[in-house]
Structure 1
């Protein structure tokens, strides 16, 4: 099983001024954190796209390109690219360029977008939410398989004998994952196409997602795909420290970000009871000491048969020092323990 770390570039807010901290500093910290993740032997690093004041990363591909030049082995992925409001030609070109810089380490995870700020920002109509994703995914897969592209849809101008360059290292093909939040339609789409699935589990009880994963497995096989090539990942909020005080104090960071997001979605204030419940064995938060997080990752493998776990580690913008320690423990203690248990 591959183990990795994901981030969105969360920005904490100064309670005195109400302003987020400087994106410049956060981006520099992220690059240091990716470099460390590579050095401690983690398999993958994922970076997501947002267009809000509480996130520093609007262009994951730019940060991943910078990371490509300072890392050696770690895979560099978007988690996720909001494909519905992106241009598939440019998405492929950006990630094939990262792939060439990194000597074949680039991946794309595409999703419809749980945040919708990018739609008006780039001139798309939300009423086309589903159709945009379906058409653009079809185009991206066409580009991934063909250097010379012929394609026609209804929401974008057709491509007729258009050459898309540069080509990625693996005969032009990039790994493309489908990222889902829990809708059966999205799971079915990934299974039909034989694409790897990454499931965001950030609330409730992970075992509630088991029917969806089984649905994906069944449909993947039913549509004629090789079960030996099946890949399933989960992406969950994580933070690691062997210092109980750090974990207890992290509640403040975590709750502040959940409340910022929740304020626009009608969520009630986030509570310490929710935090502790999420941290329990049956909860969706991988927040705790090395042994606790190791046990929960192994439980996910038992539940779902996952081939990848990505711990989303910067919710609420914990300090850079604590982030570096969390990554260090994840790479030096958790990853070896998980690998040993599954060997």
Structure 2
């Protein structure tokens, strides 16, 4: 069971002080977070790609590379790369470069993007939302499989027996499919034999069990062994010294950012009652003291069979020292409890 951190590099107004952190400061903070996550024994750190003022993560591979030379074992991944609006050649080159710098610790988590700002920014039409992803994923997988590539699609110029460099240290470079709960994504990932990551930010995580089954059934039909495939989840959360402290620290920034997104998407107002309900044992918020967060991760493993868990912290802007402490507690307190509970018995 791998445990790690995911972030969108939030750079929003602090809900308590009103101060807005600069993108530059948030990027430097992220490098410190990755180094600490490695030091406390976490397995993976992921940065989500976004192209808007309240997030600084437009180039995840660059930020991850900045920390690669200062870390030893932690895996470094996008979470996610919006593959629909990017060039698969450049995506592969960026992450194979990261793979070389980190000596084989890079991964790509590819998604269609629930945020759509990148489409007009890079000149793509939302009418081609699904087709772009399918084409670009096909090309990305072809590139990672072969040094020389010949390919033709409908949205990008053809490639005729050209090499793509540098080649990754890992062969093949790991590519995950990221999904917010779309059945088609689960079937696609299973059919291709790719690992899958589900974003679970609401409701009860156990309700994703049918999607996990769909994923495994598609893998089996395509001739893949579903028992060897990796399944990850990504959920908002925060670890504190006590459960009450964790909730009180995490709520203001979470409420502020969820209401910003909610206004854009027509969601109801996010209040403390919704927050408190979601941080119950069966809810999607992993907020509490180390023992409680560990208990929730163990329950997640029992219900969904996940092999990797991402704690998304922070949601909105929180003081850097509080985020660093949460990462420390996740690595030194939560992860050992989970690993001990899930360790195979002889």
The aligned residue for residue 220 of structure 1 is: 219
- Confirm or deny: 8 A CA contact 2:246 2:289 kept in the other structure: no
Mapped partners of 1:205, 1:232: distance in 2:
17
Mapped partners of 2:97, 2:289: distance in 1:
38
The aligned residue for residue 94 of structure 2 is: 94
Q: Equivalent residue of 1:76, what SS?
A: strand
- Confirm or deny: 8 A CA contact 1:20 1:53 kept in the other structure: no
- Confirm or deny: 8 A CA contact 1:2 1:308 kept in the other structure: yes
What's the TM-score once normalised by structure 2's chain length?
Answer: 0.96
Mapped partners of 2:23, 2:246: distance in 1:
24
Q: Equivalent residue of 2:235, what SS?
A: strand
Cα RMSD for the two superposed structures: 1.4
- Confirm or deny: 8 A CA contact 2:286 2:293 kept in the other structure: yes
The aligned residue for residue 200 of structure 2 is: 201
Q: Aligned ranges for residues 1-343 of structure 1 at < 5 Å?
A: 1-13=1-13, 20-171=20-171, 173-243=172-242, 244-343=244-343
- Confirm or deny: 8 A CA contact 2:108 2:174 kept in the other structure: yes
- Confirm or deny: 8 A CA contact 2:85 2:119 kept in the other structure: yes
Mapped partners of 1:27, 1:176: distance in 2:
24
Q: Equivalent residue of 1:53, what SS?
A: coil
Q: Equivalent residue of 2:233, what SS?
A: strand
What's the TM-score once normalised by structure 1's chain length?
Answer: 0.97
1:135 and 1:19, CA in 2 relative to 1: closer, same or farther beyond 3 A?
Answer: farther
Alpha-carbon offset, residue 318 of structure 1? 1.4
Bigger shift: 303-312 or 20-29? 20-29
Alpha-carbon offset, residue 228 of structure 1? 3.8
Mapped partners of 1:18, 1:333: distance in 2:
32
Mapped partners of 2:191, 2:326: distance in 1:
37
Mapped partners of 1:313, 1:17: distance in 2:
19
Mapped partners of 2:225, 2:237: distance in 1:
32
Bigger shift: 6-15 or 212-221? 6-15
Alpha-carbon offset, residue 108 of structure 1? 0.3
Q: Equivalent residue of 1:142, what SS?
A: helix
- Confirm or deny: 8 A CA contact 2:119 2:125 kept in the other structure: yes
Q: Mark the runs of 5 or more structure 1 residues left unpaired by the alignment.
A: none
Mapped partners of 1:67, 1:262: distance in 2:
33
Alpha-carbon offset, residue 77 of structure 1? 0.3
- Confirm or deny: 8 A CA contact 1:42 1:335 kept in the other structure: yes
- Confirm or deny: 8 A CA contact 2:14 2:317 kept in the other structure: no
Give the total of aligned pairs.
342
Mapped partners of 1:67, 1:255: distance in 2:
30
- Confirm or deny: 8 A CA contact 2:14 2:318 kept in the other structure: no
Task: Spell out, residue by residue over 1:126-156, the C-alpha distance to the aligned partner (whole angstroms, 9 max, x if none).
Answer: 0000000000000000000010000111111
1:17 and 1:298, CA in 2 relative to 1: closer, same or farther beyond 3 A?
Answer: closer
Bigger shift: 117-126 or 209-218? 209-218
Alpha-carbon offset, residue 19 of structure 1? 7.4
- Confirm or deny: 8 A CA contact 1:99 1:168 kept in the other structure: yes
Alpha-carbon offset, residue 219 of structure 1? 1.4
Mapped partners of 1:246, 1:335: distance in 2:
17
Q: Equivalent residue of 2:161, what SS?
A: strand
Bigger shift: 14-23 or 257-266? 14-23
Mapped partners of 1:236, 1:150: distance in 2:
39
